[in-house]
């Protein structure tokens, strides 16, 4: 089935709440996301109002994750009071468009902590091996 | 028919096999060309100035038989039958005007500009984001109607720094989201592998290399200038200028040689083939770019006179008195250049002497003809 146009074919109610969210478009074991604006209280399987970008969470051969954002249309929908889900807010924060999302700081801090623990464990192991 | 084909294929195989030892020889040979790019003074103002553009276009010596030749039939499933029409003079004029316009479009020269500066623009530093991800995040603004060079493309590095992307990344992302026909995301092998490029150059596929470089690179990229400068120098050392005439690449070639003050073998070729007026145009190009010729004012004046005459695609068999006058002036002007500024004095002097003798014969012949016809 071909993808719907980026301008969207979803039904659109002016006063209903809208949300900018990630929609999974990949296949099994290969996630790929569209950043889309949809009616907030509607299943993700329905056509969207508009596609605003894309996000590829799997790093490419240069170890990069690619994000495309149609900032002009994002601003438009934000101006119309669209709600932004946390994953999208995190991406926009990393892009420098929003303030950094608190959850990004939390992830960073947790990752650093695990790395420290792992290093400590390795050091311990190395010391034990030396003793033995 | 099929037998013939088989034979052809086989002979090619045999040839390839015979050439294998030679091929190794070719590939192991290194070309001693040092690429140079426009990284000092910006050449763009001079290249785009109208006087120099006119000179370069004239030096291209556009031959419409070559400009409009069929270059490939890859896009056409079958050849079109030519159309023959009876036209009145006015209609013919209109058709010629159309042909001129489309030739101008085909002969548009790739711009000669300075190499771009690297982008080093840190937007924000956030050390609290260290460890968020081991991969880089690249953000591209895909808003409608923004030109590739003005598109907002930023990256968030694993160390939490948000910065503008450099040119190579920008180019890759632009190609991913807004692909350009014929441009590859990974560098094609002919540019990535020096041996492949040199083998193409040795086979004198200059136009192919330059066309391909124009599609693959932007004119202000260092790689573009490297590839083109290698090609230009290869053409210069082998004196194969004719392969680029009537193509869009001759102007940049002439400009490159003039800019680096090594246009003397081009000048030599022009004198040798008897294109004496174009040699004067080349002199005035040199004077317009560097302004270091002793008789620069003379060559400029003469060049303006030459520009009013039509392009000489072949040697004219019949000379009018004005032609003779103009050519004699050109010879004098060139003589002064060879004495004062040339780096190939003896060769160019000899070539000019040869041309003089040939020209004398031509003049006598055409004057004799005139007399015989009783028009003198």
Q: Do A112 and B154 touch (CB under 8 A)?
A: no
Residues A87 and A37 in one domain: yes
Looking at chain B, which residue has its C-alpha nearest residue A104? B132
3-state secondary structure of A67: strand
- Do B284 and B300 meet the contact criterion of CB atoms below 8 Å apart? yes
Put simply, whether the predicted model's pTM sits higher than 0.90 gets the answer: no
Mean pLDDT to the nearest integer, B298-323: 84
Quickly state the pLDDT bin for B136 (edges 50, 70, 90). very high
Residues A88 and A113 in one domain: no
CB pairs A-B closer than 8 Å: 82
How many other C-beta atoms are found inside a 10 Å radius of the C-beta of residue B136? 18
Low-confidence spans in chain A with pLDDT less than 50: none
Which of A90, A100, A106, A112 would you mutate first to test chain B, the one with the most B CBs within 10 A? A100
Pairing outcome for strands B136-141 and B153-156: antiparallel
For residue B231, how far is the Cα from the chain centroid?
A: 9
Q: Do B135 and A115 touch (CB under 8 A)?
A: no
- Name residues 52-111 of chain B within 8 A of A (Cβ): none
pLDDT(B23) > 60: no
Among the listed ranges B28-32, B230-234, B329-333, which one has the minimum average pLDDT value? Answer: B28-32
Q: How many domains does chain A have?
A: 2
Among the listed ranges B21-30, B163-172, B196-205, B337-346, which one has the minimum average pLDDT value? Answer: B21-30
- Do B26 and B20 meet the contact criterion of CB atoms below 8 Å apart? no
The C-alpha atoms of residue B369 and residue B376 are separated, in whole angstroms, by 9
- Residue A43: which domain range? 5-98
The C-alpha atoms of residue A102 and residue A109 are separated, in whole angstroms, by 11
Query: How would you list the strands of the sheet with A64-69, edge to edge?
Result: A83-84, A18-24, A33-39, A50-56, A64-69, B136-141, B153-156, B161-164, B122-125
Which whole-number Å values give the CA distances from B53 to B78, B107, B277, B285, B290, in the listed order?
38, 12, 17, 10, 15
- B127 and A CB contact within 8 Å: no
Instruction: Note the pLDDT of residue B70.
Output: 79
Distance from the Cα of B172 to chain A's closest Cα (Å) equals: 11
Mean pLDDT to the nearest integer, B37-54: 90
- Measured between beta carbons, the chain A residues lying within 8 angstroms of B177 are 68
Instruction: Note the pLDDT of residue A3.
Output: 67
pLDDT(B18) > 60: no
pLDDT(B12) > 50: no
Instruction: Note the pLDDT of residue B135.
Output: 95
Mean pLDDT to the nearest integer, B234-245: 93
Instruction: Note the pLDDT of residue B376.
Output: 60
Residues A115 and A66 in one domain: no
On the 0-12 / 13-18 / 19+ scale of CB atoms within 10 A, B360 is: exposed
Residues A92 and A106 in one domain: no
Looking at chain B, which residue has its C-alpha nearest residue A76? B143
Mean pLDDT to the nearest integer, B254-277: 92
Looking at chain B, which residue has its C-alpha nearest residue A61? B135
Pairing outcome for strands A83-84 and A64-69: unpaired
pLDDT(B285) > 90: yes
Residues A107 and A83 in one domain: no
pLDDT(B5) > 70: no
Residues A121 and A94 in one domain: no
3-state secondary structure of B25: helix
Residues A78 and A109 in one domain: no
């Amino acid at each position: 089935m071909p993808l719907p146009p980026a301008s969207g074919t979803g039904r659109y109610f002016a006063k209903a709440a809208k949300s900018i969210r990630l929609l999974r478009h990949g296949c099994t074991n290969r996630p790929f996301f569209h950043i889309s604006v949809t009616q907030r209280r509607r299943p993700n399987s329905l056509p969207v109002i508009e596609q605003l970008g894309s996000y590829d969470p799997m790093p490419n051969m240069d170890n990069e994750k690619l994000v495309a954002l149609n900032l002009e249309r994002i601003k438009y929908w934000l101006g119309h009071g669209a709600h932004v889900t946390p994953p999208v807010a995190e991406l926009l924060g990393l892009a420098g468009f929003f303030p950094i999302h608190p959850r990004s700081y939390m992830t960073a801090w947790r990752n650093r902590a695990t790395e420290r623990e792992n290093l400590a464990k390795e050091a311990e192991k190395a010391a034990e091996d030396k003793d033995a | 028919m099929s037998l013939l084909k088989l034979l052809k294929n086989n002979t090619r195989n045999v040839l390839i096999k015979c050439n294998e030892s030679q091929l190794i020889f070719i590939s192991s040979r290194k070309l001693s060309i040092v690429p140079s790019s426009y990284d000092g003074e910006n050449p763009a103002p001079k290249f785009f100035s109208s006087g120099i553009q006119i000179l370069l276009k004239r030096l291209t010596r556009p031959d419409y038989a070559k400009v409009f030749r069929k270059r490939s039939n890859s896009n056409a499933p079958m050849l079109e039958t030519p159309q023959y029409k009876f036209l009145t003079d006015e209609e013919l004029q209109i058709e010629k005007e159309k042909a001129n316009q489309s030739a101008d479009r085909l002969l548009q020269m790739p711009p000669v500009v300075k190499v771009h500066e690297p982008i080093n623009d840190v937007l924000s530093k956030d050390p609290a984001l260290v460890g968020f991800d081991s991969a880089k995040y690249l953000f591209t603004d895909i808003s409608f109607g923004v030109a590739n060079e003005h598109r907002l493309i930023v990256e968030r590095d694993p160390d939490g720094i948000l910065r503008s992307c450099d040119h190579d990344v920008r180019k890759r992302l632009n190609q991913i989201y807004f692909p350009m026909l014929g441009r590859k995301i990974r560098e094609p092998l002919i540019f990535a592998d020096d041996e492949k490029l040199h083998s193409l150059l040795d086979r004198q596929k200059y136009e192919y290399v330059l066309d391909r470089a124009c599609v693959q690179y932007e004119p202000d990229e260092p790689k573009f200038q490297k590839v083109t400068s290698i090609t230009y120098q290869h053409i210069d050392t082998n004196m194969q200028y004719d392969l680029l005439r009537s193509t869009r690449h001759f102007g940049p070639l002439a400009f490159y040689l003039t800019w680096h003050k090594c246009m003397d073998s081009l000048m030599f070729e022009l004198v040798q083939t008897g294109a004496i007026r174009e040699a004067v145009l080349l002199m005035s190009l040199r004077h317009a770019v560097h302004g270091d010729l002793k008789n620069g004012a003379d060559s400029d004046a003469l060049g303006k006179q030459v520009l009013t005459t039509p392009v000489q695609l072949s040697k004219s068999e019949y000379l009018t008195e004005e032609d003779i006058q103009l050519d004699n002036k050109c010879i004098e002007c060139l003589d002064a250049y060879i004495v004062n500024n040339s780096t190939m004095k003896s060769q160019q002097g000899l070539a000019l002497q040869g041309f003089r003798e040939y020209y004398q014969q031509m003049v006598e012949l055409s004057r004799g003809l005139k007399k015989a016809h009783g028009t003198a």
